[in-house]
Homo-oligomer: A and B are copies of this chain.
């Protein structure tokens, strides 16, 4: 029995996002995401921004990432639980919402588990386009887990990377990455350790998942002119780069207040200079300024990227006719009469035939006849 009517909140499942990739092709999806994310970074001052709201527990973190401009509000729910894979669950699961700022009405609820992986890789490639040396073709990929293929393909499509030098502490992860990229035309080279993988690389992407203060990269591993795309360190206590890597580099970040807490930057003094990447993408500040310079993109993921990705998926799904409706928000015959929804569902004449219900907790009666919990102590009865 369906008696409630609903306002039009659209829904996109992971299958719908896969269907968008099938119909548009992966290159067009990566390019479309890049265009949308870049366009939103270029209008950075229009957004109301805040660091994400993290809830830490012994096994992981759950985060809410809100952002808005004058017309739309977006947020993402995302977790990070490194131990999940042992339970058969993804490490990162996510979904997000787009709403109309002028009414608060939820327009779109969308899967972001797959979409987060795409937008993270595309954001890395956008930054590298301004920070890596022109003609960079060889990328070291340290950490060959869930995000690694996305990084590889975004850099291949958007930057022209053609060779990957792989290292992971788990050889099975590298083997999976090689299987997944077979036939892509990307050359992959398995390396014995991080030092071997980064030797000769134009770009170094670190995307490791351990929640610890690691030093995957140290300054002595880096040669002049390399670009470091550090993606795996993204919460307090989780870093990948040694402090001397940052000291010897020009460091670029998404949103400085968040990266100071979550990025490799958390290891540095509060006045350590960084540049927000929107300033480079919008032409206000230079990216790379010499062939010898070492650049670092200390990426932690920012709500603006999800806002842009939600907009892209909404537009694509609308164009392709994939939007389904989700019965999330009830339509009211009279919007001032919320109870009108409930009234047909309850028999009011039976409402209080008997005496009022007693409190759930064990209660005694206080000196003025008021209920007092049995556990109460310390005040006069």
Q: Which of B147, B282, B373 contacts A281 (CB under 8 A)? A: B373
CB distance from A357 to the nearest CB of B (A): 5
The answer to whether B88 and A359 touch across the interface, beta carbons within 8 angstroms, is no
**A70, B55: Cα distance in complex, Å:** 11
CB distance from A103 to the nearest CB of B (A): 5
* Interface hit among A193-201, A232-240, A255-263, A286-294: A286-294
The answer to whether B55 and A48 touch across the interface, beta carbons within 8 angstroms, is yes
- Provide the residues of chain B in CB contact with A22, threshold 8 Å: 345-346
Chain A: number of interface residues, binned into ranges: 35 or more
**A42, B346: Cα distance in complex, Å:** 30
CB distance from A367 to the nearest CB of B (A): 9
**Given A330-B114, A359-B38, A371-B130, CB of A379 within 8 Å of CB of B81:** no
Task: Name the residue of chain B whose CB is nearest to the CB of A373.
Answer: B283
The answer to whether B103 and A84 touch across the interface, beta carbons within 8 angstroms, is yes
- Provide the residues of chain B in CB contact with A269, threshold 8 Å: none
* Interface hit among A26-34, A216-224, A241-249, A310-318: A26-34
The answer to whether A97 and B77 touch across the interface, beta carbons within 8 angstroms, is yes
- Provide the residues of chain B in CB contact with A351, threshold 8 Å: 26-27, 153, 156-157, 184-186
**A153, B343: Cα distance in complex, Å:** 11
- Provide the residues of chain B in CB contact with A64, threshold 8 Å: 53, 64, 66, 75
Task: Name the residue of chain B whose CB is nearest to the CB of A21.
Answer: B345
Specify which of A14, A68, A184 lies most central, judged by the most chain B CB atoms within 10 Å of its CB: A14
CB distance from A322 to the nearest CB of B (A): 11
Interface assignment of A328: CB less than 8 Å from any CB of chain B? yes
**A337, B97: Cα distance in complex, Å:** 25
Interface assignment of A360: CB less than 8 Å from any CB of chain B? yes
Count identical subunits in the complex.
2
Interface string of A351-381 (1 = CB under 8 A from B): 1100111011100011011111111111100
Interface assignment of A254: CB less than 8 Å from any CB of chain B? no
Interface assignment of A124: CB less than 8 Å from any CB of chain B? no
Interface assignment of A99: CB less than 8 Å from any CB of chain B? yes
The answer to whether B285 and A373 touch across the interface, beta carbons within 8 angstroms, is no
Interface assignment of A187: CB less than 8 Å from any CB of chain B? no
Interface assignment of A35: CB less than 8 Å from any CB of chain B? yes
CB distance from A307 to the nearest CB of B (A): 12
The answer to whether B327 and A13 touch across the interface, beta carbons within 8 angstroms, is yes
Specify which of A15, A97, A104, A327 lies most central, judged by the most chain B CB atoms within 10 Å of its CB: A104
Q: Which of B105, B117, B373 contacts A89 (CB under 8 A)? A: B105
The answer to whether A15 and B3 touch across the interface, beta carbons within 8 angstroms, is yes
The answer to whether A101 and B57 touch across the interface, beta carbons within 8 angstroms, is yes
Interface assignment of A133: CB less than 8 Å from any CB of chain B? yes
**Chain A positions 68-114 with a Cβ under 8 Å from a chain B Cβ:** 68, 70, 73, 75, 77, 79-81, 84-85, 87-91, 93, 95, 97, 99, 101-106, 111, 113-114
Interface assignment of A338: CB less than 8 Å from any CB of chain B? yes
- 14 more contacts with CB within 8 A, not counting A26-B342, A156-B356, are A4-B18, A13-B327, A14-B330, A26-B351, A87-B103, A90-B330, A90-B335, A93-B105, A114-B341, A148-B339, A150-B339, A176-B336, A184-B349, A281-B361
| Interface positions of A (Cβ within 8 A of B) | 1-4, 6-7, 13-15, 18-19, 21-22, 25-27, 31, 34-35, 38-39, 42, 48, 50, 53, 55, 57, 59-62, 64, 66, 68, 70, 73, 75, 77, 79-81, 84-85, 87-91, 93, 95, 97, 99, 101-106, 111, 113-114, 117, 129-130, 133-135, 145-150, 153, 156-160, 173, 176, 180-186, 281-291, 326-330, 332, 334-343, 345-352, 355-357, 359-361, 365-366, 368-379
